[in-house]
Amino acid sequence: MGPPSRPRSRDSSGAAKRSVIGLSPNLDSRRSTRISASSNSAKPSSPAASTSLSTPDRKVKIKESSSASEDIAAEIVVWTGDTMEVDSPESPTPAPPELPDLPDVIVEDVKVEPIASTSSSPLSQPASSPSLQPLPSTSLEPAPPLHFDIPSALPLDPPTPPIYEPPPPTPPLSPPAPASEVAISPLLHGDVPPKAESSSSSLSVVSEHTDISPALSSASSKATTPVDHDSSKEAMAPSAAQPARQITDKPRRRYDIRPKVSIPPDLPLYEYATQCIAGAEASRLNPYALHPEEYSMLRDHISHTQVTTYLNIRNGILRLWVRNPQIAVTRDEAVGCAKDSRWFDIASLSFDWLVRRGYVNFGCIEIRSSRKPAAGNSPTQRKQKTVVVVGAGMSGLGCARQLEGLFKQYSRRFREMGEDPPRVVVLEGRGRVGGRVYSRSFSTKPKQMSPNFEGKRYTAEMGGMIITGFDRGNPINILLRGQLGLDYHKLNPDMTIFDSNGKAVDFERDQLVEKLYNDCLERVSEYKFQQPTSKLIEGNRDLIDEGRDSSAETHKTIRQTEEAAAAQPYAAPVSEQNMAPQVHLVPVSSDRATGRVHTEPGTPGAQKAAHRVKDIGWTLKQGVNEDADLEIESLIKERDATLGSVIDKIIPQYRDLVDFTAQDFRLMNWHVANLEYSNATNYTQMSLRGWDIDAGNEWEGAHTMVVGGYQSVPRGLALLPTPLNLKQKFPVQKITYSPDHTGKATVECEDGYTVEADYVVNTIPLGVLKHGNVQFEPPLPSWKAGAINRLGFGVLNKVILVYKEPFWDEGRDIFGVLRIPSSRHSLEQKDYSPQRGRFFQWFNISKPSGLPVLLALMAGDAGYDTEQSCNDDLVAEATEVLRSIYGSKVPRQPVEAVVTRWASDKFARGSYSSAGPNMQADDYDIMARPIGNLYFAGEHTSGTHPATVHGAYLSGLRAASEVLDAMLGPIEIPTPLIIPKNHSSLKRKASGVNNKDSLEARLQQYEIEMWDHIVSLIDRRPAIPAKPASNAYIFFSKSNYDNARKKLEEGRRPGKGKPSANEVRVMSAKMWKETTEEEKKPFVEMVEEQKRAYADRMAEWKRLATEWDEKATELRMKYEKEHPPPVANEEGEGNKRRRGTEVESYAEPDEDDGIVDEEDVAMDG
């Protein structure tokens, strides 16, 4: 129960303001500030200009090329990896190879159009959030000194005397840095350092999808998290990360903070709740449920009902981070998300977990370590551990940067252990960073630099290229948009597929074949590995949606409740209680830009084939009835069945059902090539059971490319906020490790240079591990070696062509080309395999590259063939393909061409991992598991996001977390974790005994009594009417539930059971999509009617509430007259808080106290 609502004060603009008096300065406000670059700070060496790394016997100079030659040279570069001198962007621009038949390029003719990037200037935001602006990226001035002006963070690990005292007022934090000081990311775009420019906007990372669908969040709460441990596998090789350890002997941490200080007082509660939910979703966490690790950490400490409050706090911390990831969240800020001091410890625990697991405070942010000396050895005696990270790709750099941050945040803990925070050394074999993210500079430069491209590099992506959406948890969103402020280009998803004769394929036919292809995949999905489910301990969704905590508190912990339930006769054991439902995902569409398959919950292969093909729009052949089906079972049972071996035999079976032409075969094989592109291998080399192991983990939002090169992201990780201790051109040849953690590890480079380490994080690509030229001592155990063998690692190659001017449709970013098989009109699947992936997919990358450039993919067999093909032949074939579409406008030779050969690259040995034919369900997890002091990261260690840049990065965060846990042990949990409501210390606080600020307690008590008095006379304030559904689809799906179910039951195959609720939902969504505007009208009208009725109810409620407020104010004044409020005593008590002020209550608000803020009402209305 809280104090009565009071008349609100208004600011000069007339806006209603909540008058919360006695609050410490709100910590949330600083999160809308940005990192600033102070002009008078000490100058670090310009990271891009040159960085010297010395070792005892070597000195290596990392130098960025600054050659900005404007000459255009005709060139074909054969790129086989960084072993070739010509390849390095750091080395001088290579001389054009002798290709006498290449025409001289007329420099004046080259005109590069300004790039209309859909990028971050200003970034799209929801209206309510502060706008995010890209950081100024370029200038010809030298790079400004980098200085991250972060408000002085309180030490993260302060001494921990007992708490329960009322917390003293929060010391004011440093004011936000003036906007004019903002600057960041020198040289992230390349050769020319940028100038510090001003930006007045504050920053928040926003999603392109501002509408938050709770249903989706829980559905997507699969293990898409950096750390995902499966206890069943621990026996084989224990993981390093243990969630937490209970402590009772240590004094509790004390917080100089007030409850709620991180909750903006002027934000309506539901708006705050929406932002918290969005924060969790943007961090890959289910806002409504505990992560399995949180469950294990908390199950002995909190009850089911307390989960809601915990989740509100945890989501609140994530909100702070996501809204401004240029500033690290401090422990005090995190604790300030609790609405009651009893919850400070659990807020602090949540903060530790989020920090350690890399949900907050990751990336290119400066984190200040505690400068306070800790008890222990003097500095000269202190030990220092070493972590060696092998490989400077996204995983290695992500891991090293994260370790640096974690070691700073936990520096006090290390000092308490008598150690300096460990040092991190990165050993990289190549002469550059980024690994398979490599934006190779062109020799060609435009005569005139477009202002949009100033300071950026003219590059093409040899490797990782597409960011597959920023929304719903892609950490690249935080790095690229939130921290580095890089420009990006949104890919236009519209694409045309050209047939082998150069004519565009009929759109309808294209759609029909695509649906059939998806049907094929759906049918084989029946045989996929079953994904294990995990515990689903949910909070109260309604309360979380409203931003309210639960006031009900049972004292049984989650464990006690589960064990009591398990003790009942015929009850499920604890391990089977509260499990998330098993969700089957079926392919529904494919992403043409990436070849990835989109899935939805459903029952695979539920309908008979003939019924289905008719349903998707095909006409059944004469004499074929809807009961006809395909024969798949026998194909599955074949020895060595793979995805490709089965689908190759399914496709021809459709010919028995429908008329399937040679063009349909070409189209079908185009989709197969696209799938082979996303897996970098022929689909006959893919596991039937595991080919789609990462299904359901896709991000949302448009696909994008970084303007000026994706490599800016790994460069940012390497350089910001301060350069990592990175040694390039240090190829590692042997790693000696200690499987039982008893000794040190040594890492030996090819030239004999050796580093001793306490921990090694190995990010060497799977291809290199398979190749076996890096030696492990002792040899890797069979469980690890087995996974290395079973997982696939194939090749995708690219042919990149630079032209003087574009001859293609500049408004399109992607187009496809159907390839003809050796036997032109073949209706045999096997004839299509060698050709289908050759130049099948083209990207117009002019906008991100700054030059007129086309990039073609060589997928499946074609990827391997490229390794052996001669450049002239490849360029000639590409030209022929382009001429078939664009005719004689296509020059005989491009100005410059680059061919990748990833399999020949000794530091990659291929492109990315895939589910090999003999893969086991947990092979990716096995790849991730450490062995003693040897840890593993890399895209091939991410079962949820393999073969991607973001997967590699997340794996680096996971490995960093494991190393920290191994060093510090699990997170410590004080007990009791939540102070019981009737705890003596709280009683002391309430009675004012030994209370530093007893006036506050008396005022609080006074307010409560007055409130009781008022309610006894005029009852509670009228409750706000519930909001009605505002979406016509909701009405549609309700009234069409039975229709959707019936539709699913038609043509259902025997043994498939009844359609699940999920399937029905998906079907009604499909039906809604197909409904015409006219048919939608009645449902739209229902919404309008509801809205009108709601507006009437609100108007009536406002009238009653105003009346109530007036009466309450009158009664309050009368009460104050008759019962004067407490005043300060003679000792000067309450100097800070005067009579009449409103005091923050330490009691948890009663969720049904009927008090509604005017702001809430205003927004609701």
Ligand X SMILES: Cc1cc2nc3c(=O)[nH]c(=O)nc-3n(C[C@H](O)[C@H](O)[C@H](O)COP(=O)(O)OP(=O)(O)OC[C@H]3O[C@@H](n4cnc5c(N)ncnc54)[C@H](O)[C@@H]3O)c2cc1C
732 interacts with ligand X by CB under 6 A: yes
- Of 922, 796, 815, 903, the closest CA to residue 860 belongs to 796
- If the CB atoms of residues 730 and 1033 are measured against ligand X, the closer one turns out to be 730
903 interacts with ligand X by CB under 6 A: no
- If the CB atoms of residues 548 and 729 are measured against ligand X, the closer one turns out to be 729
Q: Kindly provide the b/e burial profile for residues 1048-1063, where b requires at least 16 CB atoms within 10 angstroms of the residue's own CB.
A: beebbbeebeebbebb
713 interacts with ligand X by CB under 6 A: no
394 interacts with ligand X by CB under 6 A: yes
Of the candidates 427, 516, 520, 853, which one interacts with ligand X according to CB under 6 A? 427
CB of 598 to ligand X, least distance (A): 16
Q: Exposed, middle or buried, 395 (CB in 10 Å: 0-12/13-18/19+)?
A: buried
881 interacts with ligand X by CB under 6 A: no
409 interacts with ligand X by CB under 6 A: no
Please tell me the distance from the alpha carbon of residue 907 to that of residue 909, in angstroms, as a whole number: 6
Question: Alpha carbon of 127 to those of 15, 131, 208, 210: distances in Å?
Answer: 17, 8, 12, 10
Stretch that binds ligand X, among 38-46, 286-294, 386-394, 1007-1015 (CB under 6 A): 386-394
Q: Where are the alpha helices (DSSP H) in 1027-1144?
A: 1032-1039, 1041-1049, 1061-1074, 1077-1122
- Give me 767's structure tokens: 């291809």
CB of 907 to ligand X, least distance (A): 3
908 interacts with ligand X by CB under 6 A: yes
774 interacts with ligand X by CB under 6 A: yes
Please tell me the distance from the alpha carbon of residue 1114 to that of residue 1132, in angstroms, as a whole number: 31
- If the CB atoms of residues 290 and 400 are measured against ligand X, the closer one turns out to be 400
CB of 730 to ligand X, least distance (A): 6
**Residue 167 in contact with residue 154, Cβ under 8 Å?**
no
Stretch that binds ligand X, among 388-396, 496-504, 555-563, 813-821 (CB under 6 A): 388-396
Residues between 250 and 279 with contacts to ligand X, criterion CB under 6 A: none
CB of 706 to ligand X, least distance (A): 11
Please list, in sequence order, all residues whose beta carbon lies within 8 angstroms of the beta carbon of residue 101, skipping any fewer than 6 positions away: 893
Of the candidates 147, 331, 436, 901, which one interacts with ligand X according to CB under 6 A? 436
CB of 1005 to ligand X, least distance (A): 59
Up-side HSE of residue 171: CA atoms within 13 Å toward CB? Answer: 9
What binding mask, one character per residue, do residues 993-1022 give for ligand X by CB under 6 A, x or -? Answer: ------------------------------
768 interacts with ligand X by CB under 6 A: yes
907 interacts with ligand X by CB under 6 A: yes
Q: What are phi and psi of 194, to 5 degrees?
A: -85, 165
What binding mask, one character per residue, do residues 947-966 give for ligand X by CB under 6 A, x or -? Answer: xxx--x--------------
Stretch that binds ligand X, among 104-112, 540-548, 573-581, 944-952 (CB under 6 A): 944-952
CB of 755 to ligand X, least distance (A): 12
Please list, in sequence order, all residues whose beta carbon lies within 8 angstroms of the beta carbon of residue 437, skipping any fewer than 6 positions away: 393, 394, 461, 463, 464, 710, 711, 713, 714, 949
DSSP E strands in 452-569: the ranges are 459-461, 488-490, 495-498
Stretch that binds ligand X, among 234-242, 347-355, 429-437, 667-675 (CB under 6 A): 429-437
765 interacts with ligand X by CB under 6 A: yes
- If the CB atoms of residues 394 and 719 are measured against ligand X, the closer one turns out to be 394
Which amino acid is it at 64? E
- Give me 240's structure tokens: 């390093």
547 interacts with ligand X by CB under 6 A: no
CB of 63 to ligand X, least distance (A): 18
- If the CB atoms of residues 428 and 538 are measured against ligand X, the closer one turns out to be 428
What binding mask, one character per residue, do residues 441-480 give for ligand X by CB under 6 A, x or -? Answer: ----------------------xxxx--------------
User: Between 949-968 and 344-356, two packed helices, what is the crossing angle to 10 degrees?
Assistant: 120
862 interacts with ligand X by CB under 6 A: no
Give the total of residues touching ligand X (CB under 6 A). 38
391 interacts with ligand X by CB under 6 A: yes
DSSP E strands in 399-548: the ranges are 419-427, 439-441, 459-461, 488-490, 495-498
Tell me the CA end-to-end span of the chain in Å, nearest whole number.
Answer: 25
- Of 1053, 1051, 917, 918, the closest CA to residue 631 belongs to 1053
Stretch that binds ligand X, among 498-506, 735-743, 905-913, 1049-1057 (CB under 6 A): 905-913
Which amino acid is it at 104? D
Give how far the C-alpha of residue 253 lies from the chain's centroid of Cα atoms, to the nearest Å. 32
912 interacts with ligand X by CB under 6 A: yes
Q: Is the link from the previous residue into 778 a cis peptide, with omega within 30 of 0?
A: yes
Please tell me the distance from the alpha carbon of residue 796 to that of residue 778, in angstroms, as a whole number: 33
780 interacts with ligand X by CB under 6 A: no
Please tell me the distance from the alpha carbon of residue 341 to that of residue 603, in angstroms, as a whole number: 48
389 interacts with ligand X by CB under 6 A: no
Of the candidates 274, 361, 439, 911, which one interacts with ligand X according to CB under 6 A? 911
Q: Where are the alpha helices (DSSP H) in 392-436?
A: 394-409, 411-416
Of the candidates 430, 457, 489, 901, which one interacts with ligand X according to CB under 6 A? 430
What binding mask, one character per residue, do residues 744-763 give for ligand X by CB under 6 A, x or -? Answer: -------------------x
482 interacts with ligand X by CB under 6 A: no
110 interacts with ligand X by CB under 6 A: no
**Residue 332 in contact with residue 24, Cβ under 8 Å?**
no
329 interacts with ligand X by CB under 6 A: no
776 interacts with ligand X by CB under 6 A: no
Within 10 Å of residue 889's Cβ, how many Cβ atoms?
12
Coil, strand or helix at 408 = helix
The β-bridge partners of 749 are: 732
Please tell me the distance from the alpha carbon of residue 843 to that of residue 840, in angstroms, as a whole number: 10
860 interacts with ligand X by CB under 6 A: no
- Of 526, 418, 505, the closest CA to residue 816 belongs to 505
Of the candidates 392, 719, 878, 934, which one interacts with ligand X according to CB under 6 A? 392
- If the CB atoms of residues 388 and 1014 are measured against ligand X, the closer one turns out to be 388
Please tell me the distance from the alpha carbon of residue 1154 to that of residue 1146, in angstroms, as a whole number: 18
764 interacts with ligand X by CB under 6 A: yes
938 interacts with ligand X by CB under 6 A: yes
- If the CB atoms of residues 471 and 1157 are measured against ligand X, the closer one turns out to be 471
CB of 590 to ligand X, least distance (A): 15
Of the candidates 395, 551, 607, 1037, which one interacts with ligand X according to CB under 6 A? 395
- If the CB atoms of residues 705 and 1105 are measured against ligand X, the closer one turns out to be 705
CA-CA-CA-CA dihedral for 601, 604, 605, 611, to nearest 10: 0
796 interacts with ligand X by CB under 6 A: yes
CB of 392 to ligand X, least distance (A): 5
Which positions lie near ligand X, rule CB under 6 A? 390-396, 427-430, 435-437, 463-466, 731-732, 763-765, 768, 774, 796, 798, 902, 907-908, 911-912, 938-939, 947-949, 952
